[in-house]
Amino acid sequence: MDYRHVLTQNAAVLTDEVDEWDKVALTTGLDPYACKASYICGAMREFMQASGLNLANGYHLGALFLALDAAELLGQVLTGARRDQGDPRYVGPAKALACGVRHLRDHPDPQVAPLPHRPQHYEDLRNFAGHGATHLPPKRHFRYDSTRLLLWHLAHALNTMWEDTNLPTKLAAAEIHPVWTTRKGKPKPVYVTEVQDHLKTSRPGDRLAHDKSWQWTVMSVSTSSPPVTGRG
């Protein structure tokens, strides 16, 4: 099944960084909104896949930090965040992260447990992981599920966020600039075509590399005597 329509089902006209995304559109043959949405999707997928790789190898601080980067990006999109503090639309990193975590809390994947921490707790954990891991505030802690469940709900959000009819105007305004690389001597926008290729067969949050490090559930087998539990 082709899922390329998912990202643009409620598309809007971009209001900021228009020239930059128009340039990407000319290069890819896509609509500017589709280009920006694809970039966001690709960046979130990279953060999540890198987090899963770290988690699989026992690098828990790196895994947590990368997953929270994905949550912050989600919050930036949901709020239409601008970076200039003189702009009335300015949203700082902490507020964007809190917004992203609240979205995951309020729109959870019903198949798994809810997030184990409140937004403020996750902000404290991000500060701890991102600033040398030198001080974790009292009564703050993290465990495997701190990251595992965050990734699980991020994957669910990546599949469902595009249905929100309020998202397009925020996405259109959020200060997100395209990133370019060079391939065979020609400039190429990062993530855009790769995400479009991915969407030809899969949903935005599906087929994430290294997802086996976090995508498991605890299930009860009622036919056993006595009952047993296990991972599947």
The number of distinct structural domains making up the chain is 1
Confidence label for 141 from pLDDT (cuts 50, 70 and 90): confident
Does the residue 227 lie in any domain?
yes
Is the pLDDT assigned to residue 222 strictly greater than 90? no
pLDDT at 181: 96
What pairing do the DSSP bridges indicate for beta strands 228-231 and 218-221?
antiparallel
Confidence label for 12 from pLDDT (cuts 50, 70 and 90): very high
Does the residue 108 lie in any domain?
yes
Does the residue 157 lie in any domain?
yes
Q: For all residues of the chain together, what is the average pLDDT?
A: 92
Q: Looking at residues 15-22, what average pLDDT do you find? A: 98
Distance of CA 42 to the CA centre of its chain: 9
Confidence label for 217 from pLDDT (cuts 50, 70 and 90): low
Q: Looking at residues 13-30, what average pLDDT do you find? A: 98
pLDDT at 42: 99
Q: How far apart are CA 30 and CA 139, in angstroms?
A: 49
Distance of CA 75 to the CA centre of its chain: 9
Q: Looking at residues 33-41, what average pLDDT do you find? A: 99
Q: What are the tens digits of pLDDT across the range 83-105?
A: 999 999 999 999 999 999 999 99
DSSP three-state, residue 183:
strand
DSSP three-state, residue 132:
coil
Q: Which domain holds residue 129?
A: 6-231
Is the pLDDT assigned to residue 4 strictly greater than 70? yes
Does the residue 171 lie in any domain?
yes
Confidence label for 216 from pLDDT (cuts 50, 70 and 90): confident
Does the residue 1 lie in any domain?
no
Does the residue 101 lie in any domain?
yes
Q: Looking at residues 8-12, what average pLDDT do you find? A: 95
What percentage of residues in the chain have a pLDDT greater than 70? 93
**Two tokens, residue 65:** 């930090």
Q: What are the tens digits of pLDDT across the range 55-90?
A: 999 999 999 999 999 999 999 999 999 999 999 999
Does the residue 162 lie in any domain?
yes
Is the pLDDT assigned to residue 230 strictly greater than 60? no
Is the pLDDT assigned to residue 226 strictly greater than 80? no
What's the number of CA atoms in the CB half-sphere (13 Å) around residue 40?
32
pLDDT at 100: 98
Q: Looking at residues 150-175, what average pLDDT do you find? A: 97
Does the residue 37 lie in any domain?
yes
Is the pLDDT assigned to residue 228 strictly greater than 60? no
What percentage of residues in the chain have a pLDDT greater than 90? 85
